[in-house]
Copies of this chain bind each other. A is one copy, B any other.
Amino acid sequence: MGVTRVYSYTLAGKAGVTPEQVRKDFSEYGIKGNRRGGYLTESLIRAIEVIFSRDRKSNVVVVGMGNLGQALSRYERFAGRGINIVATFDIDPYKHKSRSDIQVYPMERLEEITERFGVTVAILAVPEISAQEVCDELVNLGIRGIVNFSPVLLKVPQYVVVNNVNLSDEIESVILSVRRMKDEQSLFL
């Protein structure tokens, strides 16, 4: 779009943070701008892509193709972020018949496929009850990172990274904030 320069306050406005925050973070990662001249968009974008490893694609698998698993696997914009879903898995044989657009593999093929594609990260979208069991299996196959959508704390060796995404919490937190805001407001009536 012809924009060659951006300033810390421009980026801060778009990101909803302060300009100081932007500069401190950039400084932390060695991103340098020009005093008075701001940051050059091209080199800034490249630097960010390197920092977030978006320049190299990462192969990931989705395990559990229910409501959430299907939604995630159909999302097309992951590619632009270096996230490459190479295969999806489910225990339910009914899901293996690819009536839908996406091929779902049986759990028996997890090992073969993760090895073939060098997969180290899995998205776990199975029910609460089977989460730990499937997690153990993934860890055994060499998975080193898990995005866990089930509301349980997974037990993993220290060399495995888990990021818990709890959508109920996310919604509840908004409900709570709204309640609190209203309560505060009614104090002034």
Contact = CB atoms under 8 A, between A and B. Distances in A.
Q: Interface range on chain A: under 10, 10 to 19, 20 to 34, or 35 or more?
A: 35 or more
A182 interface: yes
Given A68-B71, A168-B81, A168-B83, A146 B174 contact: yes
A161 B178 contact: yes
A88 B36 CA distance: 49
A82 interface: yes
A52 B71 CA distance: 28
Interface in A46-76: 52-54, 58, 60, 67-68, 70-72, 74-75
Interface string A148-189: 000001000001011101011011111111110110010000
A168 B78 contact: yes
Interface of A: 14-16, 52-54, 58, 60, 67-68, 70-72, 74-75, 77-78, 81-83, 120-121, 123, 144-147, 153, 159, 161-163, 165, 167-168, 170-179, 181-182, 185
